Amino acid sequence: MDRRRVIDLGEFADELRRDPHPVYARLRERGPVHRVRLPGSDENYETWLVVGYEEARAALADPRLAKNGAEIGATFLDEELIGKHLLAVDPPRHTRLRSLVTRAFTMRRVQRLRPRIQRITDDLLDEMLPRGRADLVESLAFPLPITVICELLGVPDMDRAEFRKMSNEVVAPTSSQTEYDAVVRLAEYLTQLIEDKRRAAPTDDLLSDLIRTTAEDGDRLSPDELRGMAYLLLVAGHETTVNLIGNGVHALLTHPGQLADLRADMNLLDGAIEEMLRYEGPVQSATFRYAAEPLEIAGTPIEQGDHLVVGLTAAGRDAARWDDPHRFDIHRDARGHLAFGHGIHFCLGAPLARLEGRIAVGTLLERAPGLALDGEPGEWLPGMLMRGMRGLPVRW
């Protein structure tokens, strides 16, 4: 790929927001790796975008593509104001942090949440269903995961509407100023929350466990690391699940044959969730990586210090990996998709997101047999990080 040939994705910003798949398909026809200028970025800022499945999978696991931008003089707002977290560090620090977190955030802990997730879902549907119509994002897709993650972390009841505004500004900012303000408020909130938990009597929530967790050698998370971890778990721990539920239900309702198949055999639910993740996953692009040394991807030379973005949404529709990739098919084997990433940065919360998605979608279909769209979905989130709708009007 000629480095001088740069594709300005800002020219396709509206299309990328509404439906990015045709844009990625056109790019893949020309090759799996492209030099691009991202929508909304400085006109002098360029990065590499990977749109092929095999190339994306390899890039996500390539240790030469680092996450710690400080090594090349690049930092991001959340790292500066909140602290380093798992998505912003490399081994050996990443290995250490992940080890400390997985001591507390275990599969057993996730499975223990199953009855509570079911109860929250039932309560939300008890409130929603008598109305006959609702915005599914507002009524179920958002309140379920935010309630679960807040209870898991031990976050007191907060103004959920205000938190949602802050969180949306972090993952899909409308301006640099609103993004900055949101990160500052989150940093202040988490600092106070951690301090309050240090002073309080021990409880069994995840954040309290992280404060107390100690490795065999006595290692513990520092205050900055605790704040960074709480930030990552709180924001990523609900944003992805909101979009999984919203995008997944939207896919079902726009493919009535698939919806009928699932209703006829709910044993297809696990596979349907995986197909939802492949077809319209909650994260459009992985966070930035940096070339720690020169390398090649599909014959394209990447210079040391170059930035790189891996297109997770693009990889989910690559015809070289998936037969008829633009067809939503809950019968296909969609395992191997990259919706939760790959390699050492594979999403820590994937088991929880899958569990919430299965319970939410399964219970909704059982209790709302006439579920259908009630108009056009709300606008899609801006930017190339998340893939989700602000609203999904439904009736039953």
The model's pLDDT over 163-209, given as tens digits with 9 standing for 90+, comes to 777 877 887 788 888 888 888 888 888 888 888 888 888 788 998 98
Order of strands across the sheet that contains 65-66: 7-8, 33-37, 47-50, 307-310, 289-291, 65-66
Among 19, 11, 36, 18, residue whose Cα is nearest residue 314: 19
Model pTM score:
0.93
Cβ atoms of 286 and 55 closer than 8 Å:
no
DSSP 47: E
Instruction: Return the H-helix or E-strand segment holding 244.
Output: helix 223-253
As a whole number of angstroms, the distance between CA 150 and CA 233 comes to 10
Report pLDDT digits (tens) over 120-163: 999 999 999 999 999 999 999 999 999 998 888 888 776 667 77
In this prediction, residue 265 has a pLDDT band, given cuts at 50, 70 and 90, of very high
In this prediction, residue 1 has a pLDDT band, given cuts at 50, 70 and 90, of very low
The residue with tokens 């979009």 is: 243
Cβ atoms of 374 and 235 closer than 8 Å:
no
Q: Which residues contact 375 (CB under 8 A, 6 or more apart)?
A: 393
**What is the arithmetic mean of pLDDT over 256-270?**
98
As a whole number of angstroms, the distance between CA 181 and CA 77 comes to 10
Among 308, 245, 236, residue whose Cα is nearest residue 281: 245
What values do phi and psi take at 44, rounded to 5? -95, -5
| Superfamily for domain range 7-395 | Cytochrome P450 (1.10.630.10)
Cβ-based burial of 378 (10 A; exposed 0-12, middle 13-18, buried ≥19): middle
Among 303, 296, 243, residue whose Cα is nearest residue 273: 243
pLDDT at residue 4 tops 80: no
pLDDT at residue 48 tops 70: yes
Cβ atoms of 86 and 92 closer than 8 Å:
no
Name the 3-class secondary structure at 156.
coil
Distance between alpha carbon 22 and the CA centroid of its chain, in Å?
21
**What is the arithmetic mean of pLDDT over 17-45?**
93
Cβ atoms of 179 and 215 closer than 8 Å:
no
As a whole number of angstroms, the distance between CA 145 and CA 157 comes to 14
Tokens of 73: 């003089």
Q: Are strands 33-37 and 7-8 parallel, antiparallel or unpaired?
A: parallel
Report pLDDT digits (tens) over 344-359: 999 999 999 999 999 9
The predicted structure's pLDDT at residue 351 = 95
